[in-house]
Structure 1
Amino acid sequence: MKVLPASALIFLTASANGLVVDGRSKLVERDGRTYHQLVDRSTNATIEIVKNSGICETTPGVNTYSGYFSVGPEMNMFFWFFEARNNSETAPLATWFNGGPGCSSMIGLFEENGPCHFETGAVEPSLNPNSWNEFANMLYIDQPIGTGMSYGIDNVTSTAAAAPYVWSFLQAFYNQFPEYKGRDFGLFTESYGGHYGPGFADYILDQNAAIDAGRVTGEKINLVALGINNGWTDPGDLYKAYIDYAQFNGYRPLITPQYAAEYYAAYAAICKPALDLCPSPVGDDAACIAANAACEGSIYSQITADSDFDVYDVREPSINAGLPGAYSVYLNRPDVLRAIGAKHPFEDCTNTLEPGSIVPYAEFQVTGDMARSYLTQLSNVVKAGVRTLLWAGDADFICNWMGFLVTANRVDYPGQDKFANEILVPYTVNGVPHGTFKTVENLSFLRVFQAGHEVPMYQPETALQVFMQTLKDLPISST
Structure 2
Amino acid sequence: MKIVLKPWLLAALVAGAVQAAPQKDSISTVVKRGIEYTVFNHAVTGVALEIVKNSGICETTPGVNQYSGYLSVGEDMNMFFWFFESRHDPHTAPLTAWFNGGPGCSSMIGLFQEHGPCHFVDNKTTPSINPYSWNTHSNMLYIDQPIGVGFSYGYDTVNSTVTAAPFVWKLLQAFYAHFPEYESRDFNLFTESYGGHYGPEFAHYIQAQNAAIDTGTLRGETINLVSLGINNGWFDSSIQEKSYISYALDNPYRQLINASAAAKYYYDYETFCLPALHNCSVFATDTACSIAADTCADLIEDPILSSGDWNVYDVRYPADDPYPPETYHDYLLNETVMKAIGARSTYAECPEEAYDKFATTGDLSRSFLTTLSTVIQSGIHVLIWAGDADWICNWIGVYDVANAVQFPGQREFHDAPLHPYTVDGVEMGMFKSVGNFSFLRVFEAGHEVPYYQPETALQAFAQIIRQEGIYST
Q: Same fold (TM over 0.5)?
A: yes
Q: Trace 1:167-316 onto structure 2 (pairs within 5 A).
A: 167-279=169-281, 283-316=284-317
Q: What SS does the corresponding residue of 2:280 show, helix, strand or coil?
A: coil
Rounded to whole Å, the distance in 2 between the matches of 1:325 and 1:424 is: 35
**Shift in Å at residue 33 of structure 1?**
4.3
Q: For residues 462 and 24 of structure 1, what CA distance do their matches in structure 2 show? A: 43
Q: Write the distance in 1 (CA, Å) between the matches of 2:136 and 2:88.
A: 6
For 2:126 and 2:43, locate their aligned partners in 1 and report how far apart those are by CA, in whole Å. Answer: 39
- Equivalent in the alignment of 2:61: 59
Deviations 1:316-361 (A, max 9, x none): 011279998110000011111111101110011113xxxxxxx110
2:320 alignment counterpart: 319
Contact 2:26–2:42, Cα closer than 8 Å, also in 1: no
Residue 35 of structure 1 and its aligned partner are, at CA, apart by: 1.6
> In the alignment, what sits opposite 2:360?
366
Bigger shift: residues 39-48 or 69-78: 69-78
> Deviation at 1:39?
1.1
Query: Matched residues in 2 for 1:322 and 1:332: separation?
Result: 19
- The answer to whether the aligner puts 1:131 opposite 2:136 as a matched pair is no
What are the ranges of 5 or more consecutive residues in structure 2 without an aligned counterpart?
6-21
* Contact 2:25 2:43 (C-alpha < 8 Å) held by counterparts: no
Answer yes or no: is the 8 Å Cα contact 1:21–1:39 preserved in 2. Answer: no
Q: Distance in 1 between matches of 2:241 and 2:284?
A: 22
Provide the residue aligned with 1:79 in structure 2.
81
Q: CA deviation at 1:27?
A: 3.4
Query: One-letter code of the match for 1:466?
Result: A
What is the correspondence of 1:341-380 to structure 2 with a 5 Å cutoff? Answer: 341-351=342-352, 359-380=353-374
| Stretch moving more, 453-462 or 299-308 | 299-308
Distance verdict in 2 for CA 1:37–1:367, change over 3 Å: same
How far does residue 100 in structure 1 lie from its aligned partner after superposition?
Answer: 0.3
User: Cα gap change, 1:71/1:273 in structure 2, threshold over 3 Å: closer, same or farther?
Assistant: farther
Within 5 Å, give how 1:407-422 maps onto structure 2.
407-422=401-416
Write out per-residue CA displacement over residues 356-381 of structure 1, whole angstroms, 9 at most, x where no aligned residue.
xxx11000011000001100100000
Deviation of 1:237 after TM superposition, in Å, equals 1.2
Indicate the larger mover: 315-324 or 439-448.
315-324
* Code of the aligned partner of 1:439: S
The structural deviation recorded for 1:257 is 0.4
Alpha-carbon shift at residue 30 of structure 1 (Å): 5.8
1:279 offset after TM fit, Å? Answer: 2.7
**2:459 aligned partner, one-letter code:** Q
Q: Gaps (5+ residues) in structure 1?
A: 1-6, 12-19, 352-358
Q: Within 5 Å, give how 1:88-103 maps onto structure 2.
A: 88-103=90-105
Q: Which moved more, 1:39-48 or 1:117-126?
A: 39-48
State the one-letter code of the partner of 2:156: D
Code of the residue aligned with 1:136 in structure 2: it is S
Distance 1:317 1:62 in 2: 39
Counterpart of 1:231 in 2: which secondary structure? coil
Inter-partner Cα distance in structure 2 for 1:372 and 1:28:
42
1-structure distance, mates of 2:323, 2:421: 37
2:390 maps to a residue whose letter is D
**Structure 2 CA distance, aligned partners of 1:267 and 1:232?**
17
Q: 2:16 aligns to what?
A: none
Query: What is residue 454 of structure 2 aligned with on the other side?
Result: 460
Q: Work out whether 1:400 is the aligned partner of 2:400.
A: no
User: C-alpha displacement at 1:157, in angstroms?
Assistant: 0.5
Taking structure 1 as the reference length, the TM-score comes to: 0.92
Give 1:198 deviation, angstroms.
Answer: 0.3
Deviates more, 1:228-237 or 1:34-43: 34-43
TM-score normalised over the length of structure 2: 0.93
| Distance of 2:74 and 2:470 partners within structure 1 | 38
Greater mean alpha carbon deviation, residues 317-326 or residues 67-76: 317-326
Spell out, residue by residue over 1:170-226, the C-alpha distance to the aligned partner (whole angstroms, 9 max, x if none): 111111111100210000000000000001001111111111122211111100000
Distance in 1 (CA, whole Å) between partners of 2:392 and 2:137 is 30
d(CA) in 1 for partners of 2:26, 2:186 = 25
**Which residue of the partner structure matches residue 376 of structure 2?**
382
- Matches of 1:389 and 1:30 in 2, distance apart? 41
The SS at the match of 2:83 is: strand
Q: Describe the shift of the 1:283–1:273 C-alpha distance in structure 2 as closer, same or farther (beyond 3 A).
A: closer
Please tell me whether the aligned partners of residues 71 and 169 of structure 1 are also in contact (alpha carbons under 8 angstroms). no
SS at match of 1:279: helix
Gap change, CA 1:71 and 1:430, over 3 Å in 2: farther
> 2:431, 2:305 → 1: CA distance?
28
Cα–Cα, structure 1 residues 135 and 324, in superposed 2: closer, same or farther, change >3 Å? closer
Which residue identity lines up with residue 332 of structure 1 in the other structure?
L
- Alpha-carbon shift at residue 283 of structure 1 (Å): 3.4
Alignment correspondent of 2:148: 146
Question: How many corresponding residue pairs?
Answer: 457
Per the alignment, residue 43 of structure 2 pairs with: 41
2:337 aligns to what? 336
User: What do the CA deviations read for 1:260-293 (whole angstroms, capped 9, x no partner)?
Assistant: 000000100011111011138x931111001001
4+ residue stretches of structure 1 with deviation over 6 A? 320-324
d(CA) in 1 for partners of 2:141 and 2:187?
11
Contact 1:190 1:230 in 2 (8 A): yes
